[in-house]
Amino acid sequence: MRTFLSIGAGPGMGLETAERFAREGFRVILSARNADRTRGLAAQLEAKGYAAEARAADAGDPASVAALVESVEREFGGIDVLHYNAASMRRAALAEQPRDTFTGDLAVNIGGAMAAAQAVAPGMAARGGGTILLTGGGFGLQPHPDYLSLSIGKAGIRALAHGLFERFREQGIHVATVTVAGFVNPGSEDAKAVGERFWQLHAQPAGSWTVEATYTPAG
């Protein structure tokens, strides 16, 4: 059974993307800092007949991210798809951003994605393939003054995807991002649509890979 690992799984786009892959026969591993909530999300998928498990991991701690990837690879023989969905959604203009929180926000918003890509790429390359999916955002294209740390993080996610795309493609690894240009509510049709965009990126034939898709919520 193929394995899908979600880092920063939440009740919205993260869960819907995981369920989209579960419908295609993937074993789903959901991870986040809040272990109880993550177990609840996994239980929702299990109740629908899907293979789903929960893990605790801190996306803002590179060692925690690397340990999670290593553990899942060791237990299941590899990771076929990694989805980085973690984000610190702090609302703060420059004058309102506490100085001691900015680097922590960036550690979650982009640092964890770097750590996840570093950790998962060697195994994917050794097995001859894999997919790394990153949840991007419209603030990466049009930064919002009230969400500066998130805007900088989403710009970093986009840069990471584009920066890795060609070199990783040479190793059989598809790196791709969905730039979500707006807020998405859990359980909404928009959340399902984002999950579908991620699936479509993963399902692209090797000779037709693209690095980015954009989704604008209906609301």
Class of domain 3-215: alpha beta
Residue-wise pLDDT for 113-130, tens only, equals 999 999 999 999 999 999
Successive 10-residue mean pLDDT values, the chain, 219 residues: 97 97 98 95 98 97 98 97 95 87 95 98 97 96 94 97 97 98 93 98 96 91
What's at 55, amino acid-wise?
Answer: R
Q: Are residues 62 and 103 in contact, defined by beta-carbon separation less than 8 angstroms?
A: no
Identify the H or E element spanning 71: helix 62-76
Instruction: Decide if 132 contacts 174 (C-beta within 8 A).
Output: yes
Question: How many C-beta neighbours within 10 Å does residue 76 have?
Answer: 16
Nearest Cα to 163, choosing from 108, 107, 121, 205? Answer: 121
Task: Mention every residue, 6+ apart, whose C-beta is less than 8 A from residue 155.
Answer: 139, 140, 141, 143
Residue at token pair 């390359």: 125
* Residue spans per domain, the chain: 3-215
Query: Considering all CA atoms of the chain, what is the largest pairwise distance in Å, rounded to the nearest integer?
Result: 50
Q: Is 191 left (phi over 0), alpha (psi -120 to 50) or beta?
A: alpha
CA 43 to chain CA centroid, nearest Å: 20
**Cα of 175 vs its chain's centroid, Å:** 11
Report the Cα 14 to chain-centroid distance in Å: 7
The answer to whether 15 and 38 have CB atoms below 8 angstroms apart is: no
Amino acid found at 57: A
The reported pLDDT for the residue numbered 219 is 62
Query: Is the Cβ–Cβ distance between 135 and 13 less than 8 Å?
Result: yes
For residue 28, what are the β-bridge partners?
A: 4, 52
pLDDT for residue 94: 85
| Paired sense of beta strands 27-32 and 130-137, if any | unpaired
pTM comes to: 0.96
pLDDT tens for 48-90 read 999 999 999 999 999 999 999 999 999 999 999 999 999 998 8
- DSSP assignment of 87-146 equals -----B-GGGS-TTTHHHHHIIIIIHHHHHHHHHHHHHHHHT-EEEEEEEEGGGTS--TT
